[in-house]
Amino acid sequence: MMNETIAAPFRVLLATDDSEPARQAEAWVARLRWSRPCLVDVLCVAGHGITRFGWGMQTYRTTVRQAVEQIRQSELLAGERVANAVGERLQRAGLTVHAWARQGDAAEEILAMIDQERPDVIALGPRGRSGLAELLLGSVSHQIVVSSTLPALIARRPPSEQGPLPEHLLVLVDGSLAAKTAIGWIARTGWAVGAKVTVLGLLGVPPGVDTDEPEAVSGLGELVRGDAATSLDTLSEPLREQAESLTIELDLGHPLEGALR
């Protein structure tokens, strides 16, 4: 009898504080298509709250230190309740869940969790409850995207009410190895299965100077477009086999402008 290879579960790290943006990320995780069984690590980072004073603990009297520690434990317990509640909802959606609670700086603890558990993707909302701190220091999601090489799902709006997700994927690519890696990753997750997929390649055109040979420049531009179109078609092949429909577009301009269009 041949030994059957059992695929390792797809690991998702869902960072949550049970705020509305975090619930949006939770809903996306519950509804996304996954190519293999999915294990979700639900992490709630309890902030220091009232216990985060600007003085070292050694300067406090014993009674103050005891009170601070009591409140700190209370904050951590609240984080555990949040993680467990979110985990129970995801379990009802058919996912396997591990619930975690930590205390400290949210971005630092999430990054530490990434190093510890090595998930395949992290999901979180664009912002949490700490509005003023995020205004001054930058959002947690921004810090994670900048500091980690992990693929990140930032849920900026609630998912549609019915059916598996995603319904429509917009994939922005260039001719780099990173573009090939991104498309391969999407194909492995199964997100493109049954979805409408648009692959948009943008040839960035930096401002230049006037030339005495506009026809030569125009001709070169057409050659570049032709090569790019061929590369884009080859690059999109893994998604063609999975998608309900695949649209390939090639345009000139800045990637951000093209994506917003």
163 belongs to a structural domain: no
> Which of 154, 182, 209 is at the close of a domain?
154
Residues 104 and 206 in one domain: no
pTM of the prediction? 0.81
Residues 26 and 139 in one domain: yes
Quick one: pLDDT band at residue 135, thresholds 50, 70, 90? very low
Residues 146 and 172 in one domain: no
| Residue in this structure with the two tokens 């980690």, named with its chain if needed | 148
Residues 196 and 144 in one domain: no
pLDDT tens-digit profile of 198-207? 999 887 665 5
5 belongs to a structural domain: no
* Residue-averaged pLDDT of the chain: 83
Q: Residue range 148-157: average pLDDT?
A: 91
pLDDT tens-digit profile of 15-62? 999 999 999 999 999 999 888 899 999 999 987 655 455 555 556 677
Residues 62 and 103 in one domain: yes
161 belongs to a structural domain: no
Q: Residue range 108-129: average pLDDT?
A: 90
